[in-house]
Structure 1
Amino acid sequence: MKKMMLVVLIVGSAMISPVQVKADVSMPCSAVLEPVTTDNANAKGAALVYKVKLTPSFPRTSVSIHANHLPVPSTAGDYDGYEGFTFIPNEISWRFKLFPTPEEGSPTWAGRIDDITADITNSTMEVRLSNTKTGKLGPVILRNTMNACK
């Protein structure tokens, strides 16, 4: 009976309060965003993550993304741009527009969001296709996690 109680206690405590795996990430940091398919092997990006204090209130987290050699958005369907997409799985997400530079051929796409208040230690950062007219977010082109942030 004592063994049975011990097993129930151990299993019950593991189910009720599972250990959360947290990355050991200090800010500021950056992560290389890698292509999710071999179709976009030349595409690469970088995410810069750090704390900013833009108002008298508490600091926020800023995520900025810089991406190069992305395919022309319309080649993947009904898309006309790119967005940065940062999310904590099953919790919250943030979208922000990436703007192209005026370079010909293959512009650099860049943008940022400065008002994240959540702890984004276990988040993922992506570059995704988007349709600015419909608000539709498309497939992921580049991705990495805060665990890769150095």
Structure 2
Amino acid sequence: MKKIIPLLIIMAIIFVAPADAKGNVEPVMPCSLVLDPVNNSEINEKGVALIYKVKLTPSFPRTSISVHAIHLPKPSNYGEYDNYEGFSFIENKISWRFKLYPTAEEDGPTWAGRIDDITANLENSRIEVCLSNSKSGKLGPVVLSNSINLCH
């Protein structure tokens, strides 16, 4: 009997574990994620993403991602850019872009925005803040980023 109990525990871990063989786990929602600067010299640039299920229509719930980014320089400091955008993607599958809007604050704006209509499973996705050019529609370099697998 004493030998069966450890065997049952091991089998339970293998068959009931929340992750698949690759370690992929969809985050438990709601969750938040700190967005760190990709350029380590920019110590003041930070952001946060809030990810949760939202039911805005009679259809099934969607996933909402909202981003709040602070202490970012003017987009034009990086070149031909005039805005920041939120960008989330699952590599080689799908991506979402959403505009971030600046607030009027004394020491520079807080950039914030959201997208509310994501239907995909977000495991292994990334959330980023990128520069953008509103005239050309082109997305520029990533400024802040993190993996949704670190969401908690």
- TM-score, normalised relative to structure 1: 0.85
CA separation in 2, counterparts of 1:99 and 1:92? 23
Matched with 1:92 is: 94
How large is the Cα RMSD of the aligned pairs? 1.4
Q: Deviations over 1:73-120 (max 9, x none)?
A: 001000001000000011000000000001133110000000000001
Matched with 1:111 is: 113
2:139 equivalent to 1:144: no
CA separation in 1, counterparts of 2:56 and 2:124? 24
List aligned pairs for 1:1-150, cutoff 5 A. Answer: 19-23=21-25, 25-150=27-152
Would you say the 8 A contact 1:40–1:70 is kept in 2? no
One-letter code aligned to 2:32: S
Residue segments in structure 1 that go unaligned for 5+ positions in a row: 1-17
Would you say the 8 A contact 1:28–1:49 is kept in 2? yes
Count of aligned positions: 133
Q: Deviations over 1:9-56 (max 9, x none)?
A: xxxxxxxxx944312520000000000012422100000000000111
CA separation in 2, counterparts of 1:62 and 1:24? 14
CA separation in 2, counterparts of 1:32 and 1:41? 13
